[in-house]
Amino acid sequence: MQKTLSVIGLGKLGLGMAACLADKGHYVIGVDIDKKVIDAVNAGESPLYEPVLSDLIERSRGRLIATDDYEKAVKQSSVIFIFVGTPSEQDGGFSTRYIAPVAAEIGKHLKQTADFKVIALRSTILPGTTERVVKPILEETSGKLCGRDFGLCYNPEILALGSVIRDFLNPDVVTIGESDKVSGDMLADIYTATCENNPPIVRTSLTNAEIAKISLNVFLTVKMSFANTIAEICEKVPGGDVDKVSEILGCDRRIGRKFLTGATRYGGPCFPRDTKAFIAFTRQIGCQALLANAADQVNDLQNGRIIETIIQKVGPLKGKQVALLGLTYKPDTDIVLESAALGVTQIFVQEGALLKVFDPAGIENTRQVLPGNSIEYTESIEQCLRDTELCIVLTPWKEFKQLTPQDFIREMKTPVILDCWRLYNNKDFRDGVDYIALGVEGSRPC
C-alpha cells in the first residue's frame, strides 16, 4: 500500500532514502532549508555526489517533491522521518541542536492534526536521546501524548556513502525502536514493501535501538584497527602478507572477511566521530570503553606508519616530487573528511615535498580544506604522475585499479609506488617499477 511519507533533512543519506521510497511508488515530501537542494530535487536533478541517486530522482519526478514547508509535510504524511545532522560536541558527544528545533516544528503542526502519525528519528544519536530529548519536545509542542496520539520510533540508518541506494534497498537488518506496537507495525510495513532482500526486521525499545546503532560502528572500527595492526605485523615478519592472513581469518564464520583489509586509517563522517562519541558516552555513565579507545589510538598511528614506510624507502621528503592518487576517505564519494589522504598530504607539505594530487571526485572538497601553492591539483591520473619520483595510492578507486606498470613508467621520472591497498600486488609489477605494498613484508618489486 502506497503512503505519503516525509523525510526531513535532504543530505546524502536523507535524500537517498527519499529517492528510494519515491522510486518504490510512495509519494515523498522532502524538507530542507537549502534552496539549492530544493530547486535541484524539484527539477529532477541530484544536488549531491552519490552513485545512482540522479537516476532515482529523475525517475521519481511527480512522486518526490522538496520544500521548506513543515506544515505541508506533517499534515500530509503518515510517517515523518527525521534525518538531520548531529554535529560532534567538544567532549565527543553528539549535539541535538538541529534535532530539537525540527522536533518542535513537527510538534507545532502535529497539534493541528487529528490523525495518528509516526515520527521516526534516523539520525545518529547517543542512547537516551529519543526518550529524553525528542519525546518531551514533541509532547510539549503538540499537547499530545506519545504512544496514544502519535508514535515515536528510533529507526537508525545503516548506510554507507557511495552505496546509499544499494544499502537502503538491501540492508543486513532493519532496526526499529518503537514507543508502541502500532508505530512499529507502520514502519515494518514500509520496509517490508520497500526492501528488495527481505531483511530481518528487529523491533525493540528506543534505547536498545540507539545502543545498537552506535555499537555497530564502533565494533567495525575495532575490526579495522585490528586489521591495520595485522598489516603492520606482516610488514615486519619475513613472508608476511596481510591479505593471506585476513583471508584465513575471514573464512571463520564468527569473524567474516569484511573490514579486515588492513590498509589506511578509517575516516569519513561516521567512524572516527562515532568512536569518540561512544567513548564520551561510556565515560558519562561510568563505564570503560577500552577497546574503543584502543581502536581510536591505533587509527591515529596509521598516517605516521605510511610516512615512515616512505622515508625508509626514499629518504627525506624535502623537494621530492610526489603524486598522491586518492583524496576521499573511500571510493565512490566526494567526502574527504578524516581521510588518510588529508593527513598524509599535510605531513608531506610540512616536510617540504612538492605534491601533485588527483581524485575522481574529491578535488574540490580537498581544495577547500587544503589550499596552498605547495599542492598542485591535477585533472587526470596522467597529469598527476607526470615527472614525479614517488606515487602513493591512498584510495582504492576503480580508475586506479586499472593502471598498468607502463602507465607509471611512461609518466614518472622514477616509478616508485607505495600501494596502500595492494591494488597491484601481483607479478605484473616485476619489471621497471619499484613497488611497495603496505601490509606486505619487505620493500621489494613484487
Domain containing 166: what range? 4-203
| pLDDT tens-digit series, residues 119-151 | 999 999 999 999 999 999 999 999 999 999 999
Antiparallel, parallel or unpaired: β 4-8 and 150-154: unpaired
Q: Are the C-beta atoms of residues 110 and 6 closer than 8 Å to each other? A: no
Between the alpha carbon of residue 332 and those of residues 52, 328, 329, 371, 397, the distances in Å are: 11, 9, 10, 23, 7
Question: Are 267 and 329 in contact, with CB atoms under 8 Å apart?
Answer: yes
Among 57, 47, 66, 48, which Cα is nearest to 20's? 57
Query: Is residue 446's pLDDT more than 80?
Result: no
Contact 184, 203 (CB under 8 A): yes
- Measured from the Cβ of residue 352, the count of other Cβ atoms closer than 10 Å reads 12
Residues 151 and 259 grouped into a single domain = no
Spatial CB neighbours of 333, under 8 Å, sequence gap ≥ 6? 49, 50, 161, 162, 268, 361, 362
**Do 425 and 288 share a structural domain?**
yes
Assess if residue 191 is contained within a domain.
yes
> Residue 271 pLDDT > 50, yes or no?
yes
Q: Is residue 317 part of a domain?
A: yes
261 vs 228: CA distance, rounded Å = 8
Please state whether beta strands 174-178 and 150-154 pair in parallel, antiparallel, or not at all (unpaired): antiparallel
Question: pLDDT (tens digit, 9 = 90+) per residue, 32-47?
Answer: 999 999 999 999 999 9
Query: Is the per-residue pLDDT at 442 higher than 70?
Result: no
CA 146 to chain CA centroid, nearest Å: 32
The model's pLDDT over 306-326, given as tens digits with 9 standing for 90+, comes to 999 999 999 999 999 999 999
Q: Read off the pTM.
A: 0.93
> In this structure, is residue 112 part of a structural domain?
yes
Cβ-based neighbours of 310, under 8 Å, separated by 6 or more: 317, 390, 392, 418
- What is the percent of the chain with per-residue pLDDT over 70, rounded to a whole number? 99
Q: How large is the greatest C-alpha to C-alpha distance in the chain, in angstroms?
A: 75
Q: In this predicted structure, what is the pLDDT of residue 383?
A: 98
In this model, does residue 97 exceed pLDDT 90? yes
Number of H helices, E strands in the chain: 18, 14
> Is residue 242 classed as helix, strand or coil in its secondary structure?
helix
Q: CA triplet 443, 248, 326: central angle to 5 degrees?
A: 45
Residue 270 has pLDDT above 90, yes or no: yes
Domain boundary among 164, 179, 203: 203
Q: What is the mean pLDDT of residues 3-14?
A: 96
- Residue type present at position 437: A
DSSP state of 430: S
88 with 167, same domain?
yes
Average pLDDT, rounded, for the chain: 95
pLDDT of residue 429: 80
Residues 176, 37, single domain; the answer is yes
Q: What band does 444 get if pLDDT is binned at 50, 70 and 90? A: very low
| All residues at 6 or more sequence positions from 259 whose CB lies less than 8 Å from its CB, including other chains | 220, 223, 224, 227
Do residues 17 and 144 share a domain? Answer: yes
**In terms of Cα–Cα distance, which of 26, 121, 114 is closest to 83?**
121
Contact 201, 401 (CB under 8 A): no
Residue type, 129: T
The DSSP letter of residue 83 is -
> Cell 575495532 identifies what position?
222
Looking at the 3D structure of the chain, how many domains does it have?
A: 2
167 shares a domain with 277: no
Do residue 195 and residue 262 come from a single domain?
no
Q: In angstroms, rounded to a whole number, what is the distance separating the alpha carbons of residues 345 and 357?
A: 9
The whole-angstrom separation of Cα 21 and Cα 169 is 9
CA–CA separation, 14 and 123 (whole Å): 9
Helix (H) or strand (E) holding 357, with range, is strand 354-358
Examine the domain organization and report whether 189 and 269 are in the same domain.
no
d(CA 382, CA 60): 38
Tell me which residues are annotated as active site.
Answer: 270
Query: Residue 441: its pLDDT value, please?
Result: 85
Nearest of 263, 175, 242, 267 to residue 213 by alpha carbon: 175
Which CATH number covers residue 24? 3.40.50.720
Q: Same structural domain for residues 160 and 286? A: no
pLDDT per residue as tens digits for the range 217-245: 999 999 999 999 999 999 999 999 999 99
Whether residues 14 and 89 fall in one domain: yes
Is there a domain that residue 222 lies in?
Answer: no
| Residue 442 maps to a domain | no
Clarify whether residues 170 and 46 are in a common domain.
Answer: yes
- Which residues 6+ apart lie within 8 Å of 33 measured at CB? 68
Query: According to the model, what pLDDT value does residue 171 have?
Result: 97
| The pLDDT of residue 445 is above 60 | no
The per-residue pLDDT for 427 is: 75
